[in-house]
Structure 1
Amino acid sequence: MTADAALFAACVGAPAVVVAMPAEAQPFLELASEVGTVPQPVGGAQLSALVLDGSPVLLVRTGIGLVNAASAVTAALERFEPSAVVSAGSCGGLRSDVNVGDLVVGTEFRYTDADATAFGYAPGQVPGMPEAYRASTELVAAAASLAARQGHALWRGTMLSGGSFVTAENVGATRELFPEALSTDMESTALAQVCHSHGRPFLALRSISDLCGPAADQQFHMELDVVARISATAVAEVLRGLPRSAGV
């Protein structure tokens, strides 16, 4: 067995970390003590075998968007049966009191643009599915020890995802429908739905890179590599606190 094959074999049953973009994957590659030399392609996605803090971790780079995220994590679930799935990387700040650089621990997940309200479903609810997908209580508890970085807040609450980028021009309706939502991205809710369907524990730990309609005194953008490191460091800390069997 080659070294790469052995690393991937060790990832069976290990946690999976899911990111959309190469810049969001890079901090995990830098934190790892071992990285497989040849990633496995899955459609347009890429699976990499890592060792973080002495334990195997499967890194899944999906590409941007709901369908890319769902198809890639489904393939990862079928091939590696991960014990847990964590969505990492960047997100847009939605609620008016969040700021760039803040870390968001997602506890429930909804779609911004799913609308079957004419048939009695809640805003953001896909027919036949829950109103919201909930994070694993065990993984949320594992994130309880996270501390806010100096100058930035740590939030826990609702994250949204959709197929459209939320901007200052279109944020009004989203805030009206989901006043409690902290952030928005284009992958996490799709990942949560797939994990719900497969009975796998799920958590999202993302850092805010831009604001969807900032106030006049707010910084509205932070470089992607900076927020990617914030997210990756938090994810590594949470994974470090899990049992070595990674069973959650």
Structure 2
Amino acid sequence: MTHASDVPVGPDAPARPAGPLLVLAAMPEEAAAITALMADAEPLAVPLAGVAAVRGALGGQDTAVVTTGIGVAASTAAATWAILSLRPRAAVAAGSCGGLAADVEVGTLIVGDAFTWSIADATAFGYAPGQVPGGPERHVAEAAIADLAEASARAVDEGAGVRRGLMLAGDAFVTAPLAAPMRERFPEALSADMETTASARTAEALGVPFAALRAVSDLCGPAAGQQFHLELDEVARTSALAVQELAARLARG
């Protein structure tokens, strides 16, 4: 299998020297679950207000964890700085997300391999739901990094399950009234959050392999009888273990 480090940084560029794995987490609690698993973690100076970063070893792999802040703008700015400064071999979005698909349960690990915007709507001009004019219908992960992320998630699955597919992101928290129309527009979507598509687009633009490993903390419009919420520290740990496994596999490969 081809590994993420074998993926070129751009359409005409040779494979880059291996840099760190870049882990992008929106909230401090999500980042803390990952840094707790690291060795020799040291803070990095960041020229962006509200953004924090540490670098150390995770699963034997040189890794930088960046706490981006919440939302599309925050995640774009932080990911751009991190990629240009650190030249990572791959990037992964970590932490929590909302479960959108009707059959997704809390605690499920979502492996993102395709990404689009949850509330973008230029359909009046012939674009697909979620597609921004001038952009692709979907931002799609390189198969090598997505396969590695899925294998990592399945290796640490503690019974809540693993799903791989489309993730949505946008600057709206998906409450029950938004969930039903969103499911109609994106019947294949598994989850929603406020950062992942922005991070995916940034990584794609800068030629860095990208995937997501986020665990479901809440259900967007749960059905009767479904457990609908898990504490953030619990799902952050689930995501962190999968990211640690991904880092270890990158270190071996």
Counterpart residue type for residue 167 of structure 1: T
Quote the sequence identity (%).
48
Counterpart residue type for residue 62 of structure 1: T
| Aligned partners of 1:41 and 1:47 also within 8 Å | no
Deviation string for 1:185-221 (max 9, x for gaps)? 0000000111111111000000000000111110000
Q: Does 1:227 align with 2:239?
A: no
Shift in Å, 1:116: 1.2
Question: 3-state DSSP class of the match of 2:200?
Answer: helix
Q: Equivalent residue for 1:155?
A: 163
Which whole-Å CA distance do the structure 2 matches of 1:149 and 1:138 have between them?
20
Which whole-Å CA distance do the structure 1 matches of 2:47 and 2:233 have between them?
23
In structure 2, the gaps of 5 or more residues are: 1-17
Residue of 40, 62, 67 corresponding to 1:56: 62
Q: Equivalent residue for 2:202?
A: 194
Shift in Å, 1:136: 2.0
Residue of 83, 86, 89 corresponding to 1:80: 86
Structure 1's 130 and 139: CA in aligned 2 closer, same or farther, altered over 3 A?
same
5 Å-filtered alignment, 1:30-179, equals: 30-37=36-43, 40-145=46-151, 146-147=153-154, 149-179=157-187
Residue of 193, 207, 216 corresponding to 2:215: 207
Question: 3-state DSSP class of the match of 1:225?
Answer: helix
| Aligned partners of 2:61 and 2:251 also within 8 Å | no
Shift in Å, 1:158: 0.6
**4+ aligned runs moved over 6 Å, structure 1:** none
Which whole-Å CA distance do the structure 2 matches of 1:76 and 1:198 have between them?
11
| Aligned partners of 2:95 and 2:213 also within 8 Å | yes
| Aligned partners of 1:39 and 1:49 also within 8 Å | no
Counterpart residue type for residue 212 of structure 1: C
Structure 1's 205 and 144: CA in aligned 2 closer, same or farther, altered over 3 A?
closer
Number of aligned positions between the proteins:
234
**TM-score of the two chains, using structure 2 as the length reference:** 0.88
Which whole-Å CA distance do the structure 2 matches of 1:214 and 1:47 have between them?
35
Shift in Å, 1:37: 4.7
Question: 3-state DSSP class of the match of 1:210?
Answer: strand
Q: Equivalent residue for 1:241?
A: 249
Structure 1's 58 and 150: CA in aligned 2 closer, same or farther, altered over 3 A?
closer
In structure 1, the gaps of 5 or more residues are: 1-11
Shift in Å, 1:41: 4.8
Shift in Å, 1:240: 0.8
Shift in Å, 1:54: 2.5
Shift in Å, 1:38: 5.8
Per mean C-alpha deviation after superposition, the further-off stretch among 115-124 and 216-225 is 115-124
Structure 1's 43 and 127: CA in aligned 2 closer, same or farther, altered over 3 A?
same
Question: 3-state DSSP class of the match of 1:179?
Answer: coil
Question: 3-state DSSP class of the match of 2:104?
Answer: coil
**TM-score of the two chains, using structure 1 as the length reference:** 0.90
Say what the alpha-carbon RMSD is for the aligned residues. Answer: 1.5
